[in-house]
Chain A
Amino acid sequence: MQHKRKKWTIISIVIVVLVISFTIGLFRVFKKAELSVSGQKVALEISAPDLLKAYETKEVDANLKYNGKIIGVTGIVSEVKEDQQNVSVYLKEKDAISGVMCSFDKSAIKPHDIKTGQQIKLNGICTGYLMDVLLNKCALE
């Protein structure tokens, strides 16, 4: 009798574990990607010119330090560009050739609130360096 009860207890535990694992798995598979990093923890903070300098000086080291991380960046707005789904805010010092290009989902920003020449602070995921340093899924602080 006791042996039978023990057997059922083990079976119940196995079923509960399987159901929990399956639920976690489903959640992971169907979890929607965040549209912005709003509310998420920032790994590092840096100014736009310093971030650019880090990539221009040694891209490999900068990739290791910043790529894939949420970073807080302060800089001067040089240009705001809008398309159907996206708003790009370009942080660039006057007379500089390159800067930090920050991509926002349209739901995460009101482009008319940002003016050229204004200093802003934003958070975003650093994806690397092309002509500029690129940040994705940005959110204003």
Chain B
Amino acid sequence: MDIDPHSSAPIYQQVADQVRRAVAAGVYRPGEAIPSLRALAVELTVNPNTVQRAFETLEREGLIQARKGLGMFVTENGAVSARRRSAAAVYATFVQGIRAAQAASMPPERIRDSFDKAWGDTHAEVRDEP
């Protein structure tokens, strides 16, 4: 896990995102514990208050839940919820790309062509996904 210092996203969101991605990828499965607050804060060298805020965000999303004295655990629906959030992040990335294209005065056909080309270029990788 890592924090991007050049990103405009708040660090607590970046931390939450890292955990979400790890859950979506199956690093931590439903019923399993995620790393402790201290372990995550030290690994990412971020303020523990920031990790706490990320945990609160993920708890509200229903991705993780606290077990008294044991730490944070992935909920039963955690993996599904993490994948849904990942889909939202993908959508946001497309929106960003389309906005950049519009700012560069690209006509709509060219934007679609460019998507098709990107799709084609990565198709081999995409096909391998479940």
- Verify that A and B bind, or say they do not: no
- Partner-B contacts on A (CB < 8 A): none
